[in-house]
Every structure is written in structure tokens, then in C-alpha cells.
Amino acid sequence: MTTSVRYNDFHLSPPREYFLPSNPVIRPGDITRRSISLAEVVNMKETHLAAERKSHEKILEQDALTRLRCEKTFDDLKQTNIRCHEQTEKVNRRIESVLAVEPRLSGKNLCYHPRLEERCEYLGKELEVAKKEKVEARRQFTECQARIEAEVAIKRASEREVSGKESLRRRIIEKDVAARRGDLERRKSQVRHERANVHQIDRKVQGLAKTDINLSSLSAGSMKTCLEKARNEFSFLQSQLVEMELAWKRLPEDRAKLFLQAQEL
């Protein structure tokens, strides 16, 4: 009888997404990479645990069938042992009855001696066969009991291993979920901070647009001062300010375009 426990069922390989980092690095402008949401991670890991739980239930069913077969074999061996004992006692009673009758034989019954000897030999052979069957039944019973104990030990070890792995995976999932929740809160706060910065810059731009400045009356030094101030306050307009500086140093007809751009800003 071979053991029904399969070790491969306890080493199921999790999917590749199971080992993805909890906080993927997303660079600005990288729109091709998609971050895995918290719900997808939880669903993926719950599916993996459900598959392992189903495999464990299947193993338990196989262990139950093996236990039933072992119990049936044990009952059969027990019945065989009982029959051997009964047959041995029956043979012993027959031998005792023959030995009790033999001293009372007279000379006229000497013709029965060969038959009695043959009967005794036959009963002796039956006794030897019964003893051999008894020894074989005892050996099979011992082997069956050893196999049952080995399967019970393997089952207990597998149950401990499965429970340990389930608790470890549960702790990993809880830790990963907590980390992803923390990342989500940090991202929310970062988005709120960036949104506040955008609103602040928008208010500054709107205030600058409402200011009525006659750029035609500014001198070169005043224009340069305004450009320096705008560069310090609005760093995101750096490239446009560089173009305005270059245009200021060009021909007078380019200055008219510069005035229009400044008024639009």
C-alpha cells in the first residue's frame, strides 16, 4: 500500500504578480506602466489561498479513503486471526480425543491403527498450516499498523506545514495591505499638496494678468528687472523667459511681439 500524501500539493507556486513590489516606482511621464491596485492584490491572493484550501480538502478526502481501506484491512486480518485460533483449538480437541481413545483399543481393533496414524498426520499438517497462517496474519497486522501510524504522522506533519504556510501568507497579505494603504495615503497627501501648489500658482498668474503694466514705457533695465522677478516667482516659465530675453536683444520689430507675449502672460 502506498501513501496517499502528495508533497507537491504543499508547494504550489504563486502567480508572478504575487511578488510584485507594493510601491512600484512611477516616473513622471511614464503612462505605459500600470500600478496594481489594492483590490487586485487582495483578490489575487484570496484566489491563491482558495486554490490551496481546495487542494488541502482534496488531500483530506484521500486521507479519509486511505484510512477506511486500512480499517477494512485491519478488520479482515482480525477475522483471519480469529479463524486461525478457532481452527487451532478445533485441531487440538481432535488430537486430544484421539489420544484419549487410543489406550482403549484392544487387539481386535489393531486394524484401525494405520487409519488413526494417517488421521493424526493429517491433523498435524492442518495444525502446521494454521500456525503459519497465524504467523502471516500477525505479520500483516503489524505491517498494516506501522503503515497507519506512518500515514498519521505524515498527515499531522502536512497539516502543521499547511497551517504554518497559511499563517505566514496571511501575515504577508496583512503587511502588504497595510503598506499599500500607507502608500495610498501618502499619494493622496502628495496630490493634495501639488493641487494646492497649482492653485497658488494659478492665483499668482491671474493676479499678474490683472495688473495693468504698460510695457512700452519700460526701459531695458526695468524690463530686465521684471524678467528676473518673474523668473524667481514662476519657475515653470523659464523657457519662455529665456525666449523673451533673447527677443529683447534683437531688432525693434521683435520687441512688439515680445510686448504682446508679455501682455498675454
CB 112 within 8 A of CB 105: yes
Distance in angstroms (rounded) separating the CA atoms of residues 233 and 244: 16
Tell me, yes or no, whether 99 lies in a domain: yes
pLDDT higher at 194 or 51:
51
Q: Which pLDDT belongs to residue 70?
A: 83
- What pTM did the predictor assign? 0.28
CB 41 within 8 A of CB 180: yes
How many domains would you assign to the chain? Answer: 1
Taking each helix axis from N to C end, the angle separating 113-210 and 38-101, rounded to the nearest 10 degrees, works out to 170
pLDDT higher at 167 or 244:
167
Tell me, yes or no, whether 231 lies in a domain: no
Q: Each residue of 114-154: pLDDT tens digit?
A: 777 787 788 888 888 888 888 888 888 888 888 888 888 88
Tell me, yes or no, whether 127 lies in a domain: yes
Tell me, yes or no, whether 208 lies in a domain: no
Q: Which pLDDT belongs to residue 3?
A: 44
Place of cell 522677478: 229
Burial class (CB in 10 A: 0-12, 13-18, 19+), 45: buried
Q: Which pLDDT belongs to residue 31?
A: 45
Burial class (CB in 10 A: 0-12, 13-18, 19+), 207: exposed
Tell me, yes or no, whether 149 lies in a domain: yes
Closest C-alpha among 138, 158, 135 to residue 66: 158
Distance in angstroms (rounded) separating the CA atoms of residues 216 and 262: 11
Tell me, yes or no, whether 137 lies in a domain: yes
Domain encompassing residue 179: 43-103+114-194
Q: Which pLDDT belongs to residue 178?
A: 80
Q: Each residue of 74-127: pLDDT tens digit?
A: 888 888 888 888 888 888 888 777 777 655 554 545 555 677 778 778 888 888
